[in-house]
A and B are shown apart, each in its own frame.
Chain A
Amino acid sequence: MSYVLTKDLAGKLKQPLPPEVGKGVSRILVGIAPDHEGVDSLFFRVVLKDDPGTATPSKKLGQRLQRIAAELRRRAASMVPGFAYVDFVLESELPRQRHKTA
């Protein structure tokens, strides 16, 4: 049940979410990696804009993130087999990229 995450497929998976779901989402990262059972699986990492609402765990935050995850899983199910894992990080938590000078 393996597949290749082509540029085209990744592009479709990373398309912006509908505005009513994707509010506060900066970008979506996607990759394939084996899960703990060794099955190649899709992993979404949703990058959120810095937001004080993410400072502590809460039911409200869970509700918001679940809507995003549900949308991404629905999208993934129409394109690839298997379960799509989702997690969330803030823009400021991502490792800074080094800019190369010419």
Chain B
Amino acid sequence: MSLAADLLDQAKHLAARESGRPRQASLRRAVSAAYYSLFHLIVDDAASFLARSSRLRPVVARSFEHKVIRKAAAAIGDVARRPSSNHWMQPLLDVPISAELVEVCDTFVNLQEHRHRADYDGTMRFTRVQTNGLVSDAFWAHTRWRTERTSHNARVFVLASAQLLGSR
């Protein structure tokens, strides 16, 4: 199994621990693992697309930045929901942007925010269903990405995430 699939399994396992009163540590780590499962799914695919050599692929994968992928993902959702926004990415994308890709991108942005809160915000209290919801979003995003990964718009997303496209 891939690292992305393993992390998703781990997220599910952690979300279900302590059946009565779950520990915050388990729920927080579940949210974090769910985010990283999607991060690695996208980055591993992006690296395979950008580098044919198996020696180069891990190096390319390492060059991706969370913040940049988040920005690219947010842009895809923004262009899809506000077609008249004149975003720099708009001319590069096929329209309409598929709901599947928008869901993957929205899930990435949403999960990254909750991952930050899970890892750094001690004032926040995660609930079981809140965690199950976020982990389930990641499950669904994995499925959606598999059908979208080779589409033109997914390639634009990947190239923007690799900082090979952008407003200059």
A residues with CB within 8 A of B: 35-37, 41, 48, 54-63, 65-66, 69-70, 73-74, 77, 83, 85-90, 93
Contacts and interface: CB of A to CB of B under 8 A. Distances in A.
Interface residues of B, number: 39
B11 A57 contact: yes
Contacts of A89: 127, 129-130
A88 B127 CA distance: 9
B82 A65 contact: no
* Among A37, A55, A88: residue with most chain B CB under 10 A: A88
Interface string B97-138: 001001100110110111011001000000111111111111
* Among B81, B107, B112, B129: residue with most chain A CB under 10 A: B129
A41 B120 CA distance: 18
A90 B133 CA distance: 10
A20 B42 CA distance: 31
B103 A58 contact: no
* Among B67, B117, B131, B133: residue with most chain A CB under 10 A: B133
